[in-house]
Structure 1
Amino acid sequence: MGEHRQRYNEEFKKQTVRYVQEQKKTVSDMAEELKVPTSTLYEWIAKYREFDNEPIVYDERIQQLEQQLKKKERELKDREEELAIVKKAVHIFSRPKV
């Protein structure tokens, strides 16, 4: 048989989001503490977030994505430098010999 899904009222969701924003823990830790799925908590945050209670603590996933973005930016910069070198080489070697 299927599992029984937990239902939460709007006030509980709003209070939970407020509580999460006021804490210095990650969203994953808070979800575990409150026994609410992390994805559900993220949905509530997106819907009920109030910016008065900021800052919200970065989640590990956000930190990982930021690190990946920085890595990709470095790789892109390297490729741009390589492309500039190749363009200069093509320019030099395509000159007519005198």
Structure 2
Amino acid sequence: MGDVRKHYNEAFIEQTVKFIQEQTKSIPQLAQELDIPAGTLRKWMSKHRKFENEPLLDRETIRQKEKQIASQEREIEDLKEEIAILKKAMHIFNKERN
């Protein structure tokens, strides 16, 4: 005989996703505790999870973040260079005083 498929309302799904996000247990452990298939929980997580300060990522957001990271990495390299130049200048000026 086939398994009986359970249907869950949106409120239950959202509460479950929030509960999962608050846990330190793995999805398989929670699936066993909640008696809901792990695949179903993963699907719910990908569709309904929300972060307090971070919007769900889409491809455009990821591209923007990658551009921002690349820009910040270039800025860091420039700043490291400037620091090295300033250190050399300080060394030169300290020699002239003595």
- TM normalised by structure 2 equals 0.51
Structure 1 residue ranges, 4+ long, deviating more than 3 angstroms after superposition: none
Unaligned 5+ segments in structure 1 are: 54-98
Separation in 1, partners of 2:26, 2:11: 22
| 1:34-63 residue CA offsets vs partner (Å, 9 max, x unmatched) | 00000000000001001129xxxxxxxxxx
Counterpart in the other structure of 1:5? 5
Counterpart in the other structure of 1:48? 48
- TM normalised by structure 1 equals 0.51
Counterpart in the other structure of 2:20? 20
Separation in 1, partners of 2:50, 2:42: 13
* Structure of greater Rg: 2
What's the Cα RMSD here?
A: 1.9
Unaligned 5+ segments in structure 2 are: 54-98
Letter in 2 for 1:15: Q
Q: Give the 3-state SS of the residue equivalent to 1:50 in structure 2.
A: coil
Separation in 1, partners of 2:52, 2:35: 25
| 1:39-92 residue CA offsets vs partner (Å, 9 max, x unmatched) | 000000001001129xxxxxxxxxxxxxxxxxxxxxxxxxxxxxxxxxxxxxxx
Separation in 2, partners of 1:3, 1:29: 21
Separation in 1, partners of 2:52, 2:27: 18
